[in-house]
Structure 1
């Protein structure tokens, strides 16, 4: 009897060990290393936020066509999803999407948003107010830097226009990546940060060695 139990436990252990590990969540392109992000953060200009006057999301045209009939949202859904099937018009008809902010997985594209990591309003108040429409369009549809990612829709709504000093992902394990992406985008677009924003980013980058 004991031998049979031991054999059964070994069989179960082998079965569990044979199961594939869950696939890591896709990351947007251009996420810097921790050391690079810390250096980049130190180089950003610290200044008070500018005025919200004149701001409108319409001044940041999105989602634009990227290739064929596929717009930016559809390209990011394909990039960030698993087994994504698209219609002839590029709409995602099936697949699954993991939201790194809260750890939820969704199987309907209607349940996820494409988040502007650095919100359009935040960009406006930290330098984008003086940009041309073409520059703002490039920022709002950036597939080269870590500015766009697929997340749970109501989590994106809760984030709103907040920066890391006022809003953080519910998964603390994502703080490190979130901060590195934020710093990279601010650097690429020469956007300023506030002193409280810098403090929040510094604390989040200090989480990197723990995960």
Structure 2
């Protein structure tokens, strides 16, 4: 009987260890139905690239709370068992990247991705904003704009919109599209016809 109990406990512990890390869920992700309604209301027009985009026009990262800046805030928000030092830098923890399903235990392997890239925002309306508003956009923790993801996947995405880049995990298409639409809707940014078509297809996987 004892051996049976021990075996059962070991099996249970093994299943816990084998369980996948929880995926982060930033705030403000709409339902698929609401995302489709929001998408339909967005202005469709070609991007306007005036050639003046610079990342410094979207100041990051700002102080969010105490000694924590935006990056550190998102790492703590989206990680599991995150331990930080007095400067709010993550010294340990686990991060599951929703874009590709990879799990990381070093914060240096994790980038904070802007769901709608800064340059994409620039060419879809943010070039007319004040620097203050662009700073708010770049550090927006109240919408699904900031995601903790695998660094090289973030670099692969770069400033591409959904018609040019999609997450490696097709199972994440639905959430990705809902988040993208929500950010564009919240910030009244435009979309291209190709972008709208790609988002529609992705929302149809929900």
Calculate the TM-score normalised by the size of structure 2: 0.92
Q: Which moved more, 1:44-53 or 1:187-196?
A: 44-53
Aligned to 1:4: none
CA contact (8 A) 2:32 2:203 kept: yes
Structure 1 match to 2:180 = 182
Does 1:66 pair with 2:64?
yes
SS at match of 1:19: helix
Number of the residue aligned with 1:87:
85
Indicate the structure (1 or 2) with the bigger Cα radius of gyration.
1
Alpha-carbon distance in structure 2 between the residues aligned to 1:116 and 1:200:
18
| Separation in 1, partners of 2:115, 2:107 | 19
Provide closer, same or farther for how the CA distance between residues 52 and 155 of structure 1 changes in structure 2, counting only shifts above 3 A. Answer: farther
What's the CA shift for 1:69?
A: 1.1
CA distance in 1, matches of 2:160, 2:12: 42
Residue segments in structure 1 that go unaligned for 5+ positions in a row: 1-7
Aligned to 1:115: 113
1:137 & 1:112 partners in 2: Cα distance? 21
Gapped runs of 5+ residues in structure 2?
none
Contact 1:32 1:181 in 2 (8 A): yes
Q: Extract structure 1 runs of 4+ deviating beyond 2 A.
A: 14-24
Q: In the alignment, is the contact (CA less than 8 A) between 1:102 and 1:169 conserved in 2? A: yes
**TM-score calculated relative to the size of structure 1:** 0.90
**What's the Cα RMSD here?**
1.9
Residue 126 of structure 1, aligned match among 99, 124, 128? 124
Residue 16 of structure 1 deviates from its aligned partner by 5.6
